[in-house]
């Protein structure tokens, strides 16, 4: 049986399991076991399962993952979102769109300390939606900007998705983190730019500015943001200057988030235990998926499918732009049915050899992948951010999906920009790790 037929059988088997509602991790392991049966050579599938799962789970790099998740869980239970809205609002009255820019800035700040798109979207939306509605801002634009800006949670480091990718692709977590800062800023500029243009085009749908505040009043409103901003700066500088590894930064981030929660009076035994259990549940889910993905990846390597696919792609002589366009279309389609982490672990074993063969840097490709995963977060019917906002706003899924559509296309534009100008992604990693 040729490799194309084997690949089709395995893909169909995986699709059947996922369609039947089997857990993603179990489906991956079962597909890996099935692939072993085509590998030949009498490979002991059980022994490979044991060694692969242990070898990929007992990684020091993965220690950063539960710590960053825990940090996000701690801050999720503080008054951070409320403080961000109050702190940013006085400084944004002069911009077209005014307080709708708070959605972008608040999601950017919270994303930099949470690492989760759903947590970022839910936390900021909890305070922003009622505040914007009370002030008379357009509800569709409020929903769309929150859905889009919520995706910054996985683009601005530290990011759970980035850690998962770096482990899967066997590249530096710190470099992937550093590579995400400027693209994150680019996406924020694109979002705010669109909000400003929309506001200028629809002046009747933007309420008047709030009463002006003195400089002292503005600073007073923003004081409670200082600890969080200092934590972000500390983590960023530690990564950029090489003072600490990603795992050490995650540990400092946990300590900093506990200090912020204590300072705000939100740290109690109940909230502490809730954050621990929340982080444990998320970690168990992700690590089980990673274990299944590692076994499936090893199985694919034994069959020779990834290498054959890479050689086939190479034989097509696609230009780099054509390959990126094809991968973008593939991930957009996958994003309609799978969440971001599942997309990465399901495809990395196959896509990475193709990317290497085409000459792309794996750090750059990680940011590309995070951007297309962001598209998945706002793509119906499985877009997590759409689910979050649908629940919190009481609107139907079509309304929320339609409101987020412009921000989906802005993410497509961001992918095009970093493809044409890859230095946007690579400049910080190259500064920190010259040569």
pLDDT for 328 equals 85
Mean pLDDT (whole number) for 149-175 = 83
Range 419-423 average pLDDT: 91
- Range of 28-37, 373-382, 394-403, 406-415 with top mean pLDDT: 406-415
Reduce the DSSP state of residue 279 to 3 states and report it. helix
More confident site: 196 or 248: 196
Domain regions of the chain by residue span: 3-432
377: left (phi over 0), alpha (psi -120 to 50) or beta: alpha
* Half-sphere exposure of residue 305: CA atoms within 13 angstroms, side-chain side: 27
**pLDDT for the residue numbered 91:** 81
Q: pLDDT higher for 341 or 169?
A: 169
Residue 381's pLDDT is what?
A: 58
Determine the distance from the C-alpha atom of residue 23 to the mean position of all C-alpha atoms in its chain, rounded to a whole number: 21
Given a cut of 70, whether residue 382 has pLDDT beyond it is: no
Q: Stretch 340-368: mean pLDDT, rounded?
A: 82
Quote the pLDDT of residue 311.
66
Residue 433 has pLDDT above 70, yes or no: yes
Give the Cα separation of 91 and 371 in Å (integer): 29
What is the average pLDDT across 252-270?
Answer: 84
User: Would you say residue 367 has pLDDT above 70?
Assistant: yes
Q: Using DSSP, state whether 93 is helix, strand or coil.
A: coil
Task: Look at residue 61 in the predicted model and tell me its pLDDT.
Answer: 62
CA dist 278 and 65 (Å) reads 13
Mean pLDDT across 49-64: 73
Average pLDDT, the chain: 80
> DSSP for 281-320?
HHHHHHHHHHHHHHHHHHHHHHHTHHHHHHHHHHHHT--H
Contact 344/161 with Cβ under 8 angstroms? Answer: yes
Q: What is the arithmetic mean of pLDDT over 302-315?
A: 69
Q: Confidence class of residue 149 from pLDDT cuts 50, 70 and 90?
A: confident
> What per-residue confidence (pLDDT) applies to 415?
92
Q: Tell me what pLDDT residue 417 has.
A: 94
Residues 226 and 5: their CA atoms lie apart, in Å, by 58
Q: Name the percent of the chain lying above pLDDT 70.
A: 88
- Residue 314: pLDDT band (50, 70, 90) is low
Confidence of residue 380 (pLDDT cuts 50, 70, 90): low
Q: Enumerate residues 6+ apart whose C-beta is below 8 A from 419.
A: 320, 321, 324, 368
**pLDDT tier at 337 (50, 70, 90 boundaries)?**
low
Measuring CA to CA, which residue among 252, 212, 242, 345 is closest to residue 291?
345
Tell me whether residue 63 is exposed, middle or buried, using C-beta atoms within 10 angstroms of its C-beta: 0 to 12, 13 to 18, 19 or more.
middle
List, for residues 177-220, the tens digit of each pLDDT value. Answer: 889 989 999 999 999 999 999 998 888 887 777 777 777 777 78
Binning pLDDT at 50, 70 and 90, where does residue 315 land?
Answer: confident
pLDDT exceeds 80 at position 2? no
Quote the CA–CA distance of 121 and 78 in Å, as a whole number: 15
| Res. 339: pLDDT tops 70 | no
Give pLDDT, residue 336.
Answer: 61
């Amino acid at each position: 049986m040729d490799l194309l037929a084997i690949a089709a059988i395995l893909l169909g088997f995986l699709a059947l399991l996922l369609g039947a509602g089997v857990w993603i991790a179990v489906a991956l392991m079962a597909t890996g076991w099935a692939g072993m049966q085509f590998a030949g050579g009498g490979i002991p599938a059980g022994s490979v399962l044991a060694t692969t799962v242990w070898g990929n789970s007992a990684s020091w790099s993965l220690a950063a993952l539960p710590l960053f998740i825990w940090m996000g869980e701690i801050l999720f239970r503080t008054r951070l979102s409320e403080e961000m809205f109050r702190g940013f609002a006085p400084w944004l009255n002069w911009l077209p769109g005014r307080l709708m820019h708070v959605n972008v800035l608040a999601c950017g700040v919270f994303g930099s300390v949470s690492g989760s798109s759903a947590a970022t979207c839910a936390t900021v939306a909890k305070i922003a939606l009622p505040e914007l509605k009370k002030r008379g801002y357009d509800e569709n634009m409020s929903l769309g900007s929150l859905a889009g800006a919520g995706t910054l949670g996985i683009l601005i480091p530290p990011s759970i998705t980035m850690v998962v990718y770096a482990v899967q692709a066997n590249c530096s977590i710190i470099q992937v983190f550093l590579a995400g800062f400027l693209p994150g800023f680019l996406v924020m500029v694109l979002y705010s730019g669109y909000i400003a243009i929309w506001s200028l085009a629809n002046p009747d749908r933007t309420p008047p500015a709030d009463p002006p505040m003195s400089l002292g009043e503005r600073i007073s409103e923003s004081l409670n943001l200082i600890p969080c901003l200092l934590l972000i700066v500390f983590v960023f500088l530690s990564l950029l200057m090489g003072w600490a590894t990603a795992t050490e930064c995650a540990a400092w981030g946990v300590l900093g988030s506990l200090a912020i929660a204590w300072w705000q009076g939100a740290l109690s035994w109940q909230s502490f235990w809730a954050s621990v259990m929340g982080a444990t549940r998320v970690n168990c889910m992700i690590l089980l998926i990673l274990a299944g993905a590692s076994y499936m990846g090893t199985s694919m390597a034994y069959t020779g499918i990834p290498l054959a696919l890479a050689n086939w792609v190479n034989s097509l002589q696609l230009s780099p732009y054509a390959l990126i366009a094809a991968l973008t279309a593939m991930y957009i389609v996958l994003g309609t049915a799978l969440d971001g982490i599942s997309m990465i672990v399901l495809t990395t074993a196959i896509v990475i050899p193709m990317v290497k063969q085409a000459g792309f840097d794996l750090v750059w490709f990680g940011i590309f992948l995070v951007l297309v995963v962001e598209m998945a977060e706002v793509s119906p019917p499985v877009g997590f951010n759409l689910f979050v906002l649908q629940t919190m706003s009481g609107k139907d899924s079509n309304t929320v999906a339609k409101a987020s559509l412009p921000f989906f296309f802005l993410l497509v534009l961001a992918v095009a920009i970093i493809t044409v100008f890859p230095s946007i992604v690579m400049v910080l990693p190259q500064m920190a790790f010259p040569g």
